[in-house]
Structure 1
């Protein structure tokens, strides 16, 4: 099986490539900058660029990871968010349709699409109405509708997820757990004296990225085309709880300071994944404990800071 990962040099793309390699896929990447011989230069805003990649790789399956994934950046630059997440997806689907519409395509959505949920306990399955409350979430809703449209109108093999928060080694700063872990590592090395944090009261479903990419592989292998699958741990954690766990792993006293710039214009109090559809149809279950994931992330940033010295 020949797989193409757009945005392969990103956080999730790298982990997905490792997952596919372990399961005997022939893996190729496409990214705005080609960094190795198996990664081709590709701009998803340029259909000719996408066409060139498809002609060279001739993939059986495409995992579409390229896009803008930061909620915070979607507020500061909504135009770029929609260009990459919506126009980029249209370009990819149009090119696939003309090249070979038998190619399997996985489009990655987000739990942010649920937005201001109305279910009392915050636990959402795929039938909960979408109420996006950020530019990023709106762009992902549009991407999902495009996927459904191309599936129904052209018979394309398009698989869809709404993925909840995923964390792990290699995730960049700008997301809450990497920000906290890197902040602790900097304090340990006396590069900072204060850990700056945003809203600690919200509850989110966090899952190790290795579990997430295993789900992505299984969805294209065993899932139904045109169907949306929630992908998440099924456990909801208060941000304060995870910060406390990371601080407990630190090697020194950590002073906390609330930073208003890290507060989002819109924050949903609680959301938790119901992954029953994914589990019942495909047999996927999360396997990695949150404590191991947090320790891996903290150790990763400790190594990064040591390498910078």
Structure 2
């Protein structure tokens, strides 16, 4: 796997172990795909990690396969919509840094349960901010993760910048845009009662251990395991695909600068690939090439497809300039590393060592 990693530019940054060592960190959404990798990453940096999240979804999970439980100080299960549960989790973790990833993050579920989506993504975030106000003495920083879908997508295909208008046509996107507004309001209204806050807006994140609903890579490997062709909603839709560990390192760099009270730290940051975006069709072609066998797929019934933007691109130049963030995996390497993880899973191989080596590569300068 070492040959998959492209060296980042000399002036780029990796997370600083000295800042994270023995630091109390609360990760919300720690049982999810990104949250699981984040806990492993923080543990590798020497942090004392606590988690708050819903119970795991049925079936295989990154949390189990990565052995995340062994890396936690405490793991608390609860719902963001439960004000008292959120407050109790913050009190018990007594965090110095909070990384808020918990969310209802599935576009299709947003259509099926719009009220629940808004309640989780907006009210749930407000519940967390209220809990942080009550715990202010110990706090240094909080990063609130939203989405690249927070922008008002006018269909022109422009790469969105942090200063572009927020919006959202579907319930998931709109709830994340509303979350951004809520965070900005709290940061403005209660600056003295909250730690420095920033939102992180990432493009489509892929990597081993994602078993989420309606997501391209998990759907592919589920289909192969079942011996069925993959069903694709929109093969020509484009998205900014990037590797999970690169994105998470960006979140940590943002949290570091907030903790150090750098006045230049942006309060909303895009994280996206240098090469902009790829179509779903091209992603499947790339996966076929790096694995040495084509992906069998066919287009889903158009009547069963919900509305989605045909193109989504974000400009991550602010993260590169202000945080000196740079993805370590680029081009085919993103898909090669991701496919290797799933191939090992399909073969029943032990994944913990494979994953911990990936963490070591991600944090090594």
Regarding TM over 0.5, the answer is yes
Q: What is the CA–CA distance in structure 1 between the aligned matches of 2:247 and 2:332, rounded to whole Å?
A: 16
Match of 1:233 among 273, 282, 300: 273
Q: 1:60-116 CA distances to partner (integer Å, 9 max, x unpaired)?
A: 111111111111211122122112111111111112112327452211111111242
Q: 1:264-293 CA distances to partner (integer Å, 9 max, x unpaired)?
A: 432223222211111111100111124233
Gaps of 5+ in 1: none
* Structure 2 equivalent of residue 114 of structure 1: 151
Partner of 2:242: helix, strand, or coil?
strand
Match of 1:129 among 161, 165, 175: 165
Gaps of 5+ in 2: 1-22, 57-68, 259-263, 350-365
Q: What is the CA–CA distance in structure 1 between the aligned matches of 2:266 and 2:334, rounded to whole Å?
A: 32
Offset, 1:244:
0.9
Q: What is the CA–CA distance in structure 1 between the aligned matches of 2:294 and 2:145, rounded to whole Å?
A: 39
* Structure 2 equivalent of residue 215 of structure 1: 250
Please say which of residues 57-66 and 247-256 is displaced more in the overlay: 247-256
* Structure 2 equivalent of residue 84 of structure 1: 120
Offset, 1:178:
2.2
Residues 1:93 and 2:129 are matched in the alignment: yes
* 2:284/2:295 contact within 8 Å kept: no
Q: What is the CA–CA distance in structure 1 between the aligned matches of 2:119 and 2:157, rounded to whole Å?
A: 35
Q: 1:109-130 CA distances to partner (integer Å, 9 max, x unpaired)?
A: 1111124236x45212112222
Residues 1:178 and 2:218 are matched in the alignment: yes
Residues 1:203 and 2:238 are matched in the alignment: yes
Match of 1:149 among 185, 207, 226: 185
* 2:285/2:295 contact within 8 Å kept: no
Match of 1:300 among 336, 341, 354: 341
Residues 1:42 and 2:64 are matched in the alignment: no
Match of 2:201 among 157, 162, 166: 162
TM-score (norm 1): 0.88
* Structure 2 equivalent of residue 64 of structure 1: 100
Higher relative contact order by CA 8 Å / sep ≥ 6: 1 or 2? 2
**Given the superposition, is the C-alpha separation of residues 52 and 145 from structure 1 closer, same or farther in structure 2, using an over 3 Å criterion?**
same
* Structure 2 equivalent of residue 279 of structure 1: 320
**Given the superposition, is the C-alpha separation of residues 33 and 270 from structure 1 closer, same or farther in structure 2, using an over 3 Å criterion?**
closer
Considering only aligned residues, what root-mean-square deviation do their CA atoms show, in Å? 2.4
Partner of 2:146: helix, strand, or coil?
strand
Residues 1:256 and 2:292 are matched in the alignment: no
Q: What is the CA–CA distance in structure 2 between the aligned matches of 1:164 and 1:252, rounded to whole Å?
A: 27
* 1:151/1:226 contact within 8 Å kept: no
Q: What is the CA–CA distance in structure 1 between the aligned matches of 2:327 and 2:183, rounded to whole Å?
A: 26
Q: What is the CA–CA distance in structure 1 between the aligned matches of 2:283 and 2:113, rounded to whole Å?
A: 29
Match of 1:16 among 28, 38, 42: 38
* Structure 1 equivalent of residue 6 of structure 2: none
Q: What is the CA–CA distance in structure 2 between the aligned matches of 1:253 and 1:278, rounded to whole Å?
A: 35
* Structure 1 equivalent of residue 359 of structure 2: none
Aligned residues: 302
* 1:32/1:43 contact within 8 Å kept: yes
* 1:180/1:197 contact within 8 Å kept: no
